[in-house]
RNA sequence: GUGAGUGUCGCCUAGCGGCUAAGGCGCCAGACUGUGGAUCUGGAGAUCGGGGGUUCGAAUCCCCUCACUCACCCCA
């Protein structure tokens, strides 16, 4: 048997049933984003390679899909939605600030697919550009919280940290200049491999035992302690750390008023983020149940726009990972069952009555009912009902000569098999008031 | 990019050197010619991912290749 062509590795087809789930999630996100005043934006999937390269860090650069186009230009598929946003902000200085935008679109990464990781996947980004106020950072977190709650998530924790604080922490521990990234990468694994694992890894990397000890002096989590308060004294003479602490304190202050409960976030010194461009607060959300990594990730990036325009414009934002969120929601059973969007199948009785059935479908659509006419070449009521049943279409409209003569339509409820003759003029209203709308 | 595991009808799975590769789901037809989802009966559908090799004989063993999955790296 001939093997039909497959989708590329790590890239997937989304059949209707799955698209309905995705649209549900995207719909919730759009509503929430717009409720906070974020405006829609879209950018090309392909960018000049120069635009993308050197923004994410050495490792990540290798994961950019790059190729040469017909004109010999070096181009790449966008790696995230943040860099294209920075490019847009640099290119259109007239955009009024603060500029608040959201973007829901696919991005590409040339890495090996794995659980919860694809080569083509959708990100849902919200960002505020043009303000250094921690109000913007707090608002981003409030939006994330709101969006996840709207979807039905209950047990999730947004982890907060701050790059400036991490920088101060490294300095305090005596990490040599230029080695911070390597240290932080190990620290990031704390919840995965534990303190012993991180210590071992750092020692193997060649860091002095005193450095590792000093690092853990401050990382050590005390029961219910206020992390920021605890750090203020030891890091008193480090301006970076003080700034980072102050930023987080301000964010924390605003979150309450924005309706984000204290249980929904946690300051976590061991949370680092890989991408190079973050400069201040950083955030991510992890869920425990299906271990799938983070479902959101973001932070402040005050110098990214400046790389493009020569003039820094502060910005902060976050991504919600669509595929991971859909995967998690599916595992948690957070989706309403919905195989089809069709509300009613209009059946065809025979060639003579077909025009009347088409007219009925047209009437229903005009009234806002999602109505489908059976299009199969082989007719037969049996086949048409089986089709409705398989598709999960909740209602079937039957109109043969009897109904037409009486000016009625027989409406069959596919769930319990009951049916009832309804005057033609009332069919749409009846369907619209039906429980499964 | 590195390592490990798995590829058998559309889907899930049995078979692990030897009769025409077995079963479930789904599909098709009928019992039921204005009526689905239950039940029963019958039917179609697989050169066992692809290529090469070992053997009298390969879905079963070996090599190569492709795909998928998982882990590392990194991340949504």
Nucleotide lying nearest to A60, CA to C1' measure: B74
CA-closest candidate to residue A227, choices A209, A241, A240: A241
CA-closest candidate to residue A414, choices A340, A330, A309: A340
- Geometric angle at alpha carbon A81, from A75 and A84, rounded to 5°: 55
Check for a shared fold between A16-332 and A344-432. no
Amino acid A382 CA to nucleotide B44 C1' distance, rounded Å: 21
B45: residue with closest CA to C1': A1
User: For residues A81 and A304, what is the distance between their CA atoms, to the nearest angstrom?
Assistant: 13
Q: What is the ipTM of this complex?
A: 0.87
Nucleotide lying nearest to A189, CA to C1' measure: B74
- Residue A102 is classified by DSSP as E
A389 in Cβ contact with A402 (< 8 Å): no
- The predicted pLDDT at position A1 comes to 42
B76: residue with closest CA to C1': A321
> How many CA atoms lie within 13 Å of A88's alpha carbon, on the beta-carbon side?
21
Give the other-Cβ count within 10 Å of A326's Cβ.
Answer: 22
Amino acid A292 CA to nucleotide B70 C1' distance, rounded Å: 13
Nucleotide lying nearest to A349, CA to C1' measure: B34
CA A200 to chain centre: 35
Amino acid A99 CA to nucleotide B27 C1' distance, rounded Å: 55
A247 in Cβ contact with A281 (< 8 Å): yes
Amino acid A113 CA to nucleotide B63 C1' distance, rounded Å: 27
- The predicted pLDDT at position A219 comes to 86
User: For residues A347 and A408, what is the distance between their CA atoms, to the nearest angstrom?
Assistant: 14
CA-closest candidate to residue A84, choices A101, A71, A69: A101
Amino acid A71 CA to nucleotide B26 C1' distance, rounded Å: 50
CATH architecture of the domain with range A344-432: 3-Layer(aba) Sandwich (3.40)
B34: residue with closest CA to C1': A381
Amino acid A94 CA to nucleotide B42 C1' distance, rounded Å: 74
Per-residue pLDDT in tens (0 to 9) along chain A, 437 residues:
456 778 888 898 888 888 999 999 999 999 999 999 999 999 999 999 999 999 998 888 889 999 889 999 999 999 999 999 999 999 999 999 999 999 999 999 998 898 889 999 999 999 999 999 999 999 999 999 999 999 999 889 999 999 999 999 999 999 998 888 889 999 999 888 888 899 999 998 889 999 999 999 888 766 667 889 999 999 999 999 999 999 999 999 999 999 999 999 999 999 998 888 999 999 999 887 777 889 999 999 999 999 999 999 999 999 999 999 998 888 888 887 788 999 999 999 999 999 999 999 999 999 999 999 999 888 789 999 999 999 999 999 999 999 999 999 999 999 889 999 999 999 999 999 876 54
Amino acid A344 CA to nucleotide B55 C1' distance, rounded Å: 62
- Residue A258 is classified by DSSP as T
Nucleotide lying nearest to A82, CA to C1' measure: B76
Amino acid A350 CA to nucleotide B43 C1' distance, rounded Å: 29
Which of the nucleotides in strand B have any atom less than 7 Å away from a protein CB atom?
Answer: 1-3, 10, 27-29, 32, 34-37, 46-47, 49, 67-76
Nucleotide lying nearest to A414, CA to C1' measure: B36
Tokens of A318: 């976050």
Backbone CA torsion sign across A31, A102, A166, A193: positive
- The predicted pLDDT at position A436 comes to 55
Do strands A281-286 and A157-162 pair parallel, antiparallel, or not at all (unpaired)?
A: antiparallel
Nucleotide lying nearest to A322, CA to C1' measure: B76
Nucleotide lying nearest to A121, CA to C1' measure: B76
Amino acid A239 CA to nucleotide B75 C1' distance, rounded Å: 30
Give the other-Cβ count within 10 Å of A69's Cβ.
Answer: 10
Tokens of A356: 């009347």
Tokens of A365: 């659509």
Tokens of A372: 């489908």
Amino acid A413 CA to nucleotide B36 C1' distance, rounded Å: 11
User: For residues A437 and A431, what is the distance between their CA atoms, to the nearest angstrom?
Assistant: 7
Amino acid A140 CA to nucleotide B24 C1' distance, rounded Å: 50
- The predicted pLDDT at position A224 comes to 64
Tokens of A287: 């869920």
Q: Which CATH number fits domain A16-332: 3.30.930.10, 3.40.50.620, 3.90.1150.10, 3.40.50.300?
A: 3.30.930.10
Match 């009347």 to its residue by tokens. Answer: A356
Backbone CA torsion sign across A414, A419, A423, A424: positive
A217-242 in b/e form (b: 16+ CB < 10 A) is ebbeeeeeeebbeebeeebeebebbb
- The predicted pLDDT at position A33 comes to 98
Sequence-distant (6+) residues with CB within 8 A of A356 are A399, A404
Nucleotide lying nearest to A296, CA to C1' measure: B76
A37: burial class by Cβ within 10 Å (0-12, 13-18, 19+)? exposed
Parse chain A into domains and list their residue ranges.
16-332, 344-432
Nucleotide lying nearest to A401, CA to C1' measure: B34
User: For residues A183 and A208, what is the distance between their CA atoms, to the nearest angstrom?
Assistant: 12
Do strands A371-373 and A344-346 pair parallel, antiparallel, or not at all (unpaired)?
A: parallel
Residue A389 vs residues A221, A283, A413: alpha-carbon distances, Å: 56, 45, 10
Give the other-Cβ count within 10 Å of A56's Cβ.
Answer: 21
Sequence-distant (6+) residues with CB within 8 A of A106 are A45, A120, A121, A122, A123
B49: residue with closest CA to C1': A3
Quick one: which H or E segment has residue A306?
helix A304-309
Backbone CA torsion sign across A322, A328, A142, A285: negative
């Amino acid at each position: 048997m001939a093997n039909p062509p497959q989708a590329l590795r790590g890239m997937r087809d989304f059949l209707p049933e799955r698209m309905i789930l995705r649209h549900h999630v995207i719909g919730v996100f759009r509503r929430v984003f717009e409720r906070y005043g974020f405006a829609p934006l879209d950018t090309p999937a392909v960018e000049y390679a120069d635009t993308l390269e050197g923004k994410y860090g050495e490792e990540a650069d290798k994961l950019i899909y790059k190729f040469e186009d017909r004109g010999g230009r070096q181009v790449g598929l966008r790696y995230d939605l943040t860099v294209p946003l920075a490019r847009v902000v640099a290119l259109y200085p007239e955009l009024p600030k603060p500029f608040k935008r959201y973007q829901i679109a696919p991005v590409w990464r040339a890495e090996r697919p794995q659980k919860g990781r694809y080569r083509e996947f959708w990100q849902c980004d919200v960002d505020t550009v043009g303000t250094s106020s921690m109000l913007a950072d707090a608002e981003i977190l409030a939006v994330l919280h709101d969006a996840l709650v709207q979807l039905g998530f209950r047990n999730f924790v947004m982890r907060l940290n701050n790059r400036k604080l991490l920088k101060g922490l490294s300095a305090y521990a005596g990490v040599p200049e230029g080695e911070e990234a390597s240290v932080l990468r190990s620290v990031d694994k704390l919840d995965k491999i534990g303190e012993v694992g991180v210590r071992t890894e750092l020692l193997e990397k060649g860091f002095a035992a005193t450095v590792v000890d000093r690092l853990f002096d401050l990382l050590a989590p005390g029961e219910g302690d206020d992390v920021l308060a605890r750090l203020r004294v030891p890091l008193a003479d480090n301006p970076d750390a003080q700034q980072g602490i102050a930023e987080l304190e301000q964010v924390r202050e605003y979150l309450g008023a924005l309706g984000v409960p204290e249980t929904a976030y946690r300051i976590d010194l061991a949370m680092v983020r890989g991408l190079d461009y973050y400069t201040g607060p950083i955030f991510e959300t992890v869920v425990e149940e299906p271990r799938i990594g983070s479902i959101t990730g973001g932070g402040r990036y005050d110098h990214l726009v400046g790389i493009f325009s020569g003039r820094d414009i502060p910005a902060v934002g976050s991504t919600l990972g669509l595929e991971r969120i859909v995967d998690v929601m599916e595992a948690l059973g957070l989706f309403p069952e919905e195989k089809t969007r069709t509300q009613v199948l209009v059946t065809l009785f025979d060639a003579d009555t077909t025009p009347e059935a088409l007219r009925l479908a047209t009437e229903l659509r005009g009234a806002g009912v999602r109505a489908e006419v059976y299009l199969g070449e082989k007719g037969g009521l049996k086949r048409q009902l089986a089709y409705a049943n398989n598709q999960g279409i909740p209602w079937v409209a039957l109109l043969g000569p009897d109904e037409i003569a009486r000016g009625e339509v027989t409406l069959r409820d596919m769930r319990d098999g009951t049916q009832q003759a309804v005057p033609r003029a009332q069919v749409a209203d009846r369907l619209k008031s039906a429980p499964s709308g």
